[in-house]
Structure 1
Amino acid sequence: MDAASRTSRVLPFLIILCFALPFFGFSQYTEVINSNRPGLSVSAYAVGTGVVQIETGLLYEQRDHTDLSWESTIMGADLALRYGFFKEQLEVIYEGTYIQQDITFTAFDLNEKRSDFSRNRLGIKYLLYDPFKNPDRTKPNLYSWRANNKFQLRDLVPAVSVYAGATFNLGDNPFYPEDPIVAPRAMVATQSSLGPRLVLISNLIYDRIGTDFPEMEYLVSISHAFKNPKWSVFVENQGIKSDRYSDILLRTGIAHLFSKSFQADFNIGASIKSTPSRMFGSLGFSYRLDFHQDQVISIDDQKAGQNGDFIKRNAFKDDSDTKLPGISEKKMRKLQRKAKKRKKN
């Protein structure tokens, strides 16, 4: 079976699988932009219904291979478009990177230019599980600052999302000359909050499925927000395994939030190995058009306890010992004493 035939069989299965998964997640729309930049790791959360988001940047890279006697410079731009629709947990993502590589073969004093998409893919991401859907987990402890800020083992339980899509190879791409036009791509993304300002994201990716050069990849990143939450830093580790190219990449960067819908960022990184050696950097921004509207649930459709605490039986009797919701025990005793005085009079 050739690569094109395998691709045509696997791609529909992945797309159907993404839609067939049970809808038991619960996404959290945020008032502040939720961007995947400045790294390459993908958040487990969607942008929210009605949100159109653009994440773009300019990149530069120096890539040299001493064993093969060539050196090159790469310049380009990357673009990600995200749109949340139908469900809070669901979003469609396009990711593209167009580059131009100038190569010099030092042994022969020859120059060559290559340009095309190094990344061109479209997919759908769905949030399967959100640990914060449990309202008891998000309740603050009103009596202890430490209890609200210390690390707890339950913080390691991540939000989990799945992704199904495809990588497209249009025309005679000099970077992937033997790949078919369409190759399936799948991913599992997790996200954990390790503290009030610390977030851990991990991605496990299987790309170019069914081709002669399938690619396994992982991404692990940690982001930390400063006391001024408009500033944040991150470190990221990326591993790539393929018969075409394998490497481990490290990058770090910083992001600044100018408004709730606009973020600018900068990152730099390098490879571990020297065949080829890679040093790169990127400067970009993220912006969103927010047309999100919260779903209105009528009071008849709300479950007991969904909008406030449960009201216990006999709670409103004057001689009841049960306190009213939102009233302290001290105030409750005063109300009971006043009720007894009224009875005597």
Structure 2
Amino acid sequence: MLKTTVSFLFILSVIFQTRAQYTETINSNRPGESQGAFAVGKNVLQLEAGGFMGNDNHSLFYTDTDILGASYGLRFGFLTEILELNFFGAFQQEKTLLSRGAVEEEFERANFKQNTIGAKFLLFDPYRSLEEDKPNLYSWKANQGFRWKTLVPAISVYAGANFSWWDNPYMFEGESFISPKAAIITQNNWGRWVLVINIIADKFTEEYPTYAGMATLTHAITPKFAVFGEYQGLVSDIYADDLFRGGAAYLIGKDFQLDISGLINVKDTPSRWQVAAGISYRIDMHKDEEYIEEDGESRWRYEEGEFIEKDESNEEN
């Protein structure tokens, strides 16, 4: 029993001492739909929200649906650099025109399409776990060659719960008011390029689960301006599709981001398009932990990303 307790405490100490990649500028999931592998950072509170509009046209059901809605997310770095608690949701209003010959009918529905509370945990960070390559003093070619370890991604896991309430028209008959959602997330950072992959199982305990795969490639053209492309494949007995997104984000200050994006698909049951715009804003309460190192007779303090020599005379006073 004592051995188990000691082992458990050791694992906890390793987890809570691990540092992920807190960034000096905001780290937002927008404007794509995928989640990055890294948390926002300990004690960072971040809001991600936007509006969207679009159209679905179904060639078999003879329906034409105009869509208007808003999406929102709240992310918080909790206890440690590698744990994030989050809440994502969307409210959607639809107006559908059903045409059968000379007869036309119009239907409307509006409600919360998604509300999900979850947690993301960083399991592996190659930028800290893998030993950095040392320069080869005898071979210029070896130094310029491809480094296979750059293909190793950061890996996170996500677990959450979907919540629905009241008489929600977006729920299927017999669907539970609470259902699970889980994901495996990977991320590769290659300079100005970032590749994020999400493998998602949504409502997998229900009669009609949805499984999805997403790949998002982002390129920073300048330190403030980035573009992205995204593919999302959906597999479900109710709705399966291939979705393509693209867009751009612009950084205004280190804590504020604007974004625009668009969506299309490749089939006509239904054919879809959508445009969106949004913002991301963070309240940065992150602080680097103090690190003191004895170096001969000098003492150093790690603060705000750099080592500062302590003035011992002032401390004594």
For 1:127, which of 122, 126, 149 is the aligned residue?
Answer: 122
Q: How far does residue 138 in structure 1 lie from its aligned partner after superposition?
A: 8.1
For 1:173, which of 168, 174, 179 is the aligned residue?
Answer: 168
Provide the C-alpha distance between the structure 2 equivalents of 1:58 and 1:39, rounded to a whole number of angstroms: 13
Q: How far does residue 243 in structure 1 lie from its aligned partner after superposition?
A: 1.1
Instruction: List per-residue Cα deviations over 1:243-289 (Å, max 9, x = no partner).
Output: 11111100100111111101101001111221011101100110000
Structure 2 residue 293 is matched with structure 1 residue 299: yes
Contact 1:240–1:248 (8 Å) recurs in 2: yes
Which 10-residue stretch deviates more, 173-182 or 232-241?
173-182
Give the equivalent residue in structure 2 for 1:111.
106
- Residue aligned with 1:133, SS: helix
Provide the C-alpha distance between the structure 1 equivalents of 2:63 and 2:87, rounded to a whole number of angstroms: 33
Give the equivalent residue in structure 1 for 2:187.
191
* Mapping for residues 1-345 of structure 1, pairs under 5 Å: 23=15, 26-107=19-100, 108-134=103-129, 136-137=131-132, 152-178=147-173, 179-193=175-189, 195-226=190-221, 228-299=222-293
Q: How far does residue 209 in structure 1 lie from its aligned partner after superposition?
A: 2.0
Contact 1:103–1:112 (8 Å) recurs in 2: yes
Provide the C-alpha distance between the structure 2 equivalents of 1:174 and 1:188, rounded to a whole number of angstroms: 29
Q: How far does residue 135 in structure 1 lie from its aligned partner after superposition?
A: 7.5
Instruction: List per-residue Cα deviations over 1:117-160 (Å, max 9, x = no partner).
Output: 12210100000000011484288999x99999975321110000
Contact 1:26–1:127 (8 Å) recurs in 2: no
Give TM-score scaled by structure 1 length.
0.76
Instruction: List per-residue Cα deviations over 1:285-336 (Å, max 9, x = no partner).
Output: 1000000011223437xxxxxx99xxxxxxxxxxxxxxxxxxxxxxxxxxxx
Instruction: List per-residue Cα deviations over 1:26-74 (Å, max 9, x = no partner).
Output: 4111101000001001000000011000011110111010111110100
Instruction: List per-residue Cα deviations over 1:170-214 (Å, max 9, x = no partner).
Output: 111111232210001111100002x31111000000010211111
Provide the C-alpha distance between the structure 2 equivalents of 1:182 and 1:70, rounded to a whole number of angstroms: 30
Provide the C-alpha distance between the structure 2 equivalents of 1:274 and 1:68, rounded to a whole number of angstroms: 11
Match for 2:68: what amino acid?
M
Contact 1:217–1:241 (8 Å) recurs in 2: yes
Contact 1:261–1:289 (8 Å) recurs in 2: yes
- Structure richer in strand, relative to its length: 2
| Number of aligned residue pairs | 281
Give the equivalent residue in structure 1 for 2:298.
none
Instruction: List per-residue Cα deviations over 1:71-125 (Å, max 9, x = no partner).
Output: 0100010001000010100011100110100001011311111111122101000
Provide the C-alpha distance between the structure 2 equivalents of 1:217 and 1:130, rounded to a whole number of angstroms: 24
Provide the C-alpha distance between the structure 2 equivalents of 1:206 and 1:72, rounded to a whole number of angstroms: 27
Provide the C-alpha distance between the structure 2 equivalents of 1:137 and 1:92, rounded to a whole number of angstroms: 31
RMSD in angstroms over aligned alpha carbons?
Answer: 2.7
Find the structure with the greater CA-based Rg. Answer: 1
Give TM-score scaled by structure 2 length.
0.82
Contact 1:187–1:206 (8 Å) recurs in 2: yes
Provide the C-alpha distance between the structure 1 equivalents of 2:161 and 2:145, rounded to a whole number of angstroms: 41
Provide the C-alpha distance between the structure 1 equivalents of 2:82 and 2:277, rounded to a whole number of angstroms: 29
Provide the C-alpha distance between the structure 1 equivalents of 2:66 and 2:145, rounded to a whole number of angstroms: 46
Match for 1:192: what amino acid?
N
- Residue aligned with 1:137, SS: coil
- Residue aligned with 2:287, SS: coil
Provide the C-alpha distance between the structure 2 equivalents of 1:100 and 1:182, rounded to a whole number of angstroms: 22
Give the equivalent residue in structure 1 for 2:312.
none
- Residue aligned with 1:155, SS: helix
Provide the C-alpha distance between the structure 2 equivalents of 1:149 and 1:60, rounded to a whole number of angstroms: 47
The 3 A distance-change label for structure 1 pair 49 and 66 is same
Give the equivalent residue in structure 2 for 1:341.
none
Match for 1:189: what amino acid?
I
- Residue aligned with 1:154, SS: helix
